[in-house]
Structure 1
Amino acid sequence: MNTSAHTSMVVQLHTPGTGRCPVFVHLGYDAADPFAVTAVFAHDGRVLARWRLDREMLAAGLAGPVGVGDVRLRPVGTGAGHELRMEFLGDTRPDGGRQRAVVYAWAPAVAGFLRETHAVVPPGCERAPVDDLLADILAAG
């Protein structure tokens, strides 16, 4: 039985003034953390950013707008070329604004990766190790 799923793909980073530029993203999923997908964005061999995304939110973003916090997702376009628009809000800058990145991924590739994660841990079958955490806390006290 597989306990993880991984894929790498090229996505488009939208930069103000210059348009889109390609970057790599590696998506990772592990049954030990069944609610999360890790996205590592890289360019020229350097990691640009690492985000932990909610798996259910990622799936919902393929169908409609989701997110009101630091991560916002929504589908863009229709047909075979439709994309998932991912907006990431980062730290506050000295001027009071926030760092912001917008990335576009080919939606069918994201959906395919999510199907792989569902084969590892089907939706609704996720389990959080709350009992183990509570036992550790109580044992330490």
Structure 2
Amino acid sequence: MNPIVHRTLVVQLRADGTGRCPVLAHLSYDAGDPFAVTAVFTLDGRVLARWRLDREMLNDGLREPVGVGDVRLRPVRQGRWREVRMDFLGDPLPSGTRHHAVVFAWAPSLASFLSDTYMAVPPGREEFPVDDVLAEILATG
């Protein structure tokens, strides 16, 4: 059986044209998919968004700006307060711009979650069933 790590964090969401709003971020890590973290953002029981994030990228985002494309992370400091800013770019709008949401997570909480995932599967010890995936792709193609 593959270990699963789950943590719920209160984060701050800032969407286009709004201030910060507290929402829940449900982070899940399944050792059966060792490179990914699933983040589900909810408000009042409603799912606002679901993203699959790279575990190493989350860890790197605690220390330095990372990411290109739809997800970008960077550490933010205000005095002793440390956050990770997560920029999520969504679908294109008719105006030519894209939906854009920013989530601010308290860095020590995110680091604690990642530490638990590294206890489940240490970095460099990830295994992925490439042969099984290729066989499945070839069988359906």
Taking structure 2 as the reference length, the TM-score comes to 0.92
Q: Which sections of structure 2, spanning at least 5 residues, go unmatched?
A: none
Asked whether the equivalents of residues 15 and 100 of structure 2 are also in contact (C-alpha less than 8 Å), the reply is no
Q: How far does the alpha carbon of each residue in 1:71-100 deviate from its partner, in whole angstroms, 9 at most, with x for none?
A: 000000066520000000000011111000
Asked whether the equivalents of residues 80 and 108 of structure 1 are also in contact (C-alpha less than 8 Å), the reply is no
Q: What's the counterpart of residue 117 of structure 2?
A: 117
**How far 1:135 sits from its partner (Å)?**
3.3
CA distance in 1, matches of 2:105, 2:65: 15
Runs of 4+ in 1 over 3 A off after TM superposition: 15-18, 135-141
CA distance in 2, matches of 1:15, 1:103: 9
Q: What's the counterpart of residue 72 of structure 2?
A: 72
Question: Is the alpha carbon distance of 1:18 and 1:138 closer, same or farther for their aligned partners in structure 2, counting shifts above 3 Å?
Answer: closer
**How far 1:7 sits from its partner (Å)?**
0.3
Question: Is the alpha carbon distance of 1:140 and 1:83 closer, same or farther for their aligned partners in structure 2, counting shifts above 3 Å?
Answer: closer
Q: Partner of 1:105: helix, strand, or coil?
A: strand
Q: Which sections of structure 1, spanning at least 5 residues, go unmatched?
A: none
CA distance in 2, matches of 1:97, 1:20: 21
Aligned residues: 141
Give the letter for the 2:71 counterpart: V
Q: How far does the alpha carbon of each residue in 1:59-81 deviate from its partner, in whole angstroms, 9 at most, with x for none?
A: 00000000011000000006652
Taking structure 1 as the reference length, the TM-score comes to 0.92
CA distance in 1, matches of 2:121, 2:84: 23
Sequence identity (%): 67
Q: What's the counterpart of residue 37 of structure 2?
A: 37
Question: Is the alpha carbon distance of 1:95 and 1:138 closer, same or farther for their aligned partners in structure 2, counting shifts above 3 Å?
Answer: closer
Question: Is the alpha carbon distance of 1:20 and 1:139 closer, same or farther for their aligned partners in structure 2, counting shifts above 3 Å?
Answer: closer
Give the letter for the 2:111 counterpart: A
Give the letter for the 2:130 counterpart: V
Q: What's the counterpart of residue 20 of structure 2?
A: 20
Asked whether the equivalents of residues 62 and 74 of structure 1 are also in contact (C-alpha less than 8 Å), the reply is yes
